[in-house]
Chains A and B, each alone.
Chain A
Amino acid sequence: MNSTAHQMRLDFIDPAAVKITIDGFNVLTYTNMETGEVFPNVTIKLMFPLTQSAYFVGIYQEGKEVALIEDYRKLDAKTRDLVYKIIEKQYFIPEIKRVLSIKEEYRIIHWCVVTNRGYQEFYTRTRNDVVVKGHEVYIRDIDGNRYIIKDFTKLDPTSQKVLSPEI
């Protein structure tokens, strides 16, 4: 434990060594091109799904981490597109582009918003459901769905005005 700096390095895999394929049953197989090891039936998970969705992508087999990718955008085109598609499907975090209205009734806050996934209405209940970090706003609705506003100062003026009592 002499050099903590040395100890704190994560063992990222060389992007060139990662090959991930998918079969007709949506089963993912990861091949380490350096060692030739093949890991069938793997899953892909993000370590920071809200804040750093391109970084720290883990590959897991039966819950065990078999590889860690630092930045998946550096993977070869085919694998990268596949990883992108999987993340896009598995991590459903609509980004709010416009806030149309926020109404509170009986301690329930009703939101009408336009997201990058389309128009949506949802409900939140407490201040803990809306977390502001810098200019970013993270929202969790009563069903546990997540929404994100990447920079509330860049929303149109009406949206900002509507949003202001909640942040």
Chain B
Amino acid sequence: MSYDQLNRKSLDKEEIFPIALYEKFKDFIGNEEILLTTASNLNLKGQYEETWIVVTEQKVHILENEANDVKIRTFLLKEIQDIHLDHFYGVGSIQIITKERSYEIARFTRKHNKKFYKFVEYFKKILQNEEFDIHAEIHERDHESIYGENRCPKCGGPLPRGSITCPKCTNKSATFRRLLTYLYPYKGRALLMLLTTMTYSLLSLVQPYLQKIMIDTVIAEKRIDAIKWVILAIFGAQVLGAAFQGLRSLQLSWLGERIIYDMRSQVYNHLQKLGLSYYDRRMTGAIMNRVTGDTASIQGFIVNGIQEIIVQVMSMLLIVFILFSMNWKLTLIVLIPTPFIYFGTKLYSGRMHKIYHRVWRRRSNLSAVLGGTIPGIKVVKAFTQEKHEVDKFEEALQDYFNEEIRAAKNRSVFFPLLSLTTSIGAVLIWGYGSYSVIAGGDLSLGTLTAFIGYMWRFYQPVQMLSNISGQFQMASTAAERVFEVLDHEPEIKREIQKPKPLNLKGEIIFKNVSFRYNNEDDVLKNINLHIKPGEMIGLVGSSGAGKSTLVNLIPRFYEVTEGQLLIDGKDVNEYDLTALRAEIGVVLQEPFLFYGTIAENIAYGRPDATMEEIVWAAKAANAHKFIMGFPDGYDTLVGERGIGLSGGEKQRISIARAILKDPKILILDEATSSVDTETEKLIQEAIDYLIKDRTTIAIAHRLSTLKNADRIVVLDNGTIVEEGTHDELMALENGVFRHLVEIQSEIARTNIMI
């Protein structure tokens, strides 16, 4: 066994077998061929300690570090009957089962969950003598198959929240170059902005020099004729400066707005194309912030940041050049406070970063208290918790106040200190300069005045540049966040051609379908279900049984993890996504209405629908009557999330939407669960109309609504436990469905009695 061979068979190519361990282990293992190795991060006592598992042709070796020694346990493969993975709270465990008993061979934290899923999969292949090439199967794919979605596919390092871009693997200068590409279409204007900026900063440096001429040449030599020319020059520089300032500001704003426009439209466009699972993992607020906040920070940096750097660096160099050319000794004095200013500002920024982080945390606490109570004010009042909430807010307020004061204290020490440091430079120059002027040295009064003018202009860029790295980091982080969205491949892959009507019959077959979200446990396990065209299936089960997950696979909101889902005999992945979804109608438990008129909302799936069709659909959905109750009828605006309409009304609009779309396959996800009995009746009538001639899968909370179903499928814990007609299932002694129906009738009876 070579060291290379050992590492090549590792589940994770970044995992390197410790060389010291290899030295102790190699003789023990001899010439056995290695099939699989991996490391866990806990020992069997639950302490953080790396433990290695090496599977060979005939054996499995467990190598645990113990008090500077290695403890090796070996099992013969032929004695192992099975392998199990158990998930507990924050820890997973692998057990091998022999004829006599089971043995725990590894323990690991959640970081390794996915890796050990793979381990068990390959170990089972080994037990069944199946051939596989770990190198080809794992190593040629990326890390995503080994680690969870929170870690970088390349290096396994952590990813920022809601991001797929690894900060360690991202090249900062590449990000920066990519940012600059947004300027490229407007290079003419960018150049103009740069030129006006440079001219403006040059002009602002002219004035002290003209003052020097005024004092040394005009006043000292009493040249009255020259006054007008110098005054004209000073005035001219001011006028030109003002003109260039205006021009620059206009260019800056134009470029800034244009770039942000391009970026926002690009990001929004891309967001529309991303799969649902992208949104599942991120908070909507965070996604919206990419489009608004992050793009704004980038705009700030591209436009203000970059030109500021250019201006400041240029001014600084020019000033140093001018100062040196006027008087090198005085220049050295000017430079004395520079390191103090530079490093002092850096130190202060670092310190303030931490303090502001605390301030920010306290402020978020404040918002959290607010966000938790104001929308839920009804509950607060109903439970008379006003005092408790006020106390909670006061406490958060006090914490916030304390941190702000701490920040203020730091600010009030730093800024006076900074002025003091710079004024030391000024004092020294005034002292040494006045002495030189009076003593008749090489310094004139005009030079001294100009010097002091330049000196103040010099300290400003020093301070600004000591802060630049922070600004740069902020902008590049924002840029990465934006690029992360743009680089996110639409999760649903394998798009085929342009959408054409599919004219589906509506047959759906689940063939050994399993599904899990990320690296969690299976939500659906080995589902087999054949739904015939036009059939009405009722899907029943307790919450968390996997009902919604099952129906979400049909319009490919998510892709099956294992097995196959066929629609009209063809794998669902082979359909064009847009065409497929055009044939599927979905009515959700919580209908979402977009901002717009009721008519627009009904026509959402078919913007080309005629008014007649819209009204017809609304009538079929039992929505017409209440719509006509509004003064504006179908033109009634329904605002944010349809405020102003009751749950039942919103539901009927969404049913009308589905009726208008006329889909071949219809999914009803608890469409009647949150409405009163009267409304339920109306909705049920609408649904009865809707399901005619379509394949329908209805998830129902109220089992009475499933009497008309052709078949009822009962899910429990991700598997199908019962299947049959209403009567068949009711006839089952101890049946799950029968039990559920009995409970519901019991509740209904109690309600009637009350």
Contacts and interface: CB of A to CB of B under 8 A. Distances in A.
A165 interface: yes
Given A63-B717, A89-B46, A89-B93, A108 B111 contact: no
B355 to A, nearest CB: 8
B89 A117 contact: no
B102 A26 contact: yes
Contact of A119 (B48, B91, B93): B48
A1 B148 CA distance: 48
A46 B47 CA distance: 21
Interface in A117-167: 117-120, 123, 125-127, 142-146, 164-167
Contacts of B48: 94, 115, 117-120
B46 A117 contact: yes
A93 B90 CA distance: 7
Interface in B90-143: 90-91, 93, 95, 97, 100-102, 104, 107, 109-111, 113
A125 to B, nearest CB: 4
Interface in B320-372: 354, 357-358, 361, 364
A122 to B, nearest CB: 8
B490 interface: no
A107 B161 contact: yes
Given A91-B90, A145-B90, A165-B358, A108 B158 contact: yes
B49 interface: yes
A26 B358 contact: no
Given A88-B46, A118-B48, A146 B90 contact: yes
Given A108-B158, A119-B48, A146 B89 contact: yes
B90 A108 contact: no
A165 B110 contact: no
Interface string A84-119: 000011111110000000001111101000010111
B110 A145 contact: yes
Contact of A91 (B89, B159, B361): B89
Interface string A9-51: 0000000000000011110000000000000000000100100
B49 A118 contact: yes
B158 A92 contact: no
Contacts of A167: 361
B47 A117 contact: yes
A69 to B, nearest CB: 17
B605 interface: no
B150 interface: yes
Contacts of B167: 105-106, 108
A38 B48 CA distance: 37
Contact of A145 (B104, B111, B158, B717): B111
A107 B477 contact: yes
A123 B89 contact: no
A53 B480 CA distance: 42
B88 interface: yes
B547 interface: no
A24 B160 contact: no
Given A108-B160, A144-B110, A145-B111, A92 B89 contact: yes
A92 B91 contact: yes
Among B93, B107, B160, chain A packs the most CB atoms within 10 A around the CB of B160
A144 B158 CA distance: 12
A88 B113 CA distance: 19
B161 A143 contact: no
A165 B357 contact: yes
A139 B393 CA distance: 23
A163 to B, nearest CB: 11
A127 B364 contact: yes
B151 interface: yes
Given A117-B47, A142-B150, A143-B150, A24 B91 contact: no
B158 A118 contact: no
Contacts of B47: 117-118
B109 A126 contact: no
A144 B49 CA distance: 19
Nearest to A49: B89
Can you list the 10 inter-chain pairs with the closest CB atoms, starting with the nearest?
Answer: A24-B101, A92-B91, A106-B167, A90-B88, A118-B48, A123-B158, A92-B90, A143-B111, A125-B161, A142-B150
Interface of B: 42, 46-49, 88-91, 93, 95, 97, 100-102, 104, 107, 109-111, 113, 148, 150-151, 158-161, 167, 354, 357-358, 361, 364, 477, 480, 717
18 contacts: A24-B100, A89-B88, A90-B88, A90-B91, A92-B42, A92-B89, A93-B90, A104-B357, A106-B167, A107-B161, A117-B42, A118-B49, A119-B48, A142-B150, A142-B151, A142-B158, A165-B358, A167-B361
Interface of A: 23-26, 46, 49, 63, 88-94, 104-108, 110, 115, 117-120, 123, 125-127, 142-146, 164-167
Given A92-B90, A107-B160, A107-B161, 12 more contacts: A23-B101, A25-B97, A63-B717, A89-B91, A90-B89, A92-B89, A92-B109, A106-B160, A117-B46, A142-B151, A142-B159, A143-B110
